[in-house]
Amino acid sequence: MEQHTAKPPPTSTFFKQTRNYQVSQQAVLLALINRHFSLSLSAPKKKSVVAQQMITVNYLKRGNDTVAVDEFVHRRLAEIQQYDISQGVAPKTAARRCENNRIAEVNHLLIDILREFGYSFSTKVTDGKNGTLKTESVYSVLYKGMTLFTRSTIQSSGLAINKYLNDLLFETQTTLVSKNNCILHHMLPE
């Protein structure tokens, strides 16, 4: 009798490219925010085997001001999940959507914070399928009329920044990246 072993489903190239771009985008946004805030970061609960690793942002700190990013996102995800269920989405499906929604919500919050500091963005909002959350993808970052990042530099710089931040989290599960971290500073255009 022939024995069959289950093969994992093939990973979608589109999923991997999209997730890697989201990771790069998050890293660039975090490096820019580090010009204004210290960053408290944690290693995610699950290790990514398909795409680059996302980073959990606990909070941002500037003087006496703290932005509780993880708490804010957690509340937003609960609201979105409740809304989905109220619109007829199965509870299991609504719960499964949370991870994608988490990535979108963190990036949306980081973009909003940077807009408060005078950054502007060329973005594209992608419609979610079947009523899922719309995601804003950044294709260029501008500051004081100068282009800091294009889509290609978001990808290349973002991967390097993400690697640096994940390396910080390799030994410890959480880390505090001081405001104006010199390594992040040198990874950004002047």
Domain assignment present for 142: yes
Domain count, the chain: 1
Instruction: Let me know if residue 100 belongs to a domain.
Output: yes
Residue 9 belongs to a domain: no
6 within some domain: no
Q: Within 10 A of 129 (CB to CB), how many other CB atoms are there?
A: 6
User: Around Cβ 115, how many Cβ atoms within 10 Å?
Assistant: 11
Residue 43 sits in which domain range?
17-187
- pTM of structure: 0.87
The mean predicted confidence, pLDDT, of the chain is 88
Angle between helices 98-116 and 69-86 (to 10 degrees): 130
158 within domain boundaries: yes
> Is residue 107 in some structural domain?
yes
Is 73 inside a domain boundary?
yes
What are the tens digits of pLDDT across the range 12-65?
787 788 888 999 999 999 999 999 999 999 987 767 666 677 899 999 999 999
72 falls within a domain: yes
Residues of the chain with pLDDT under 70: 1-11, 46, 48-51, 128-133
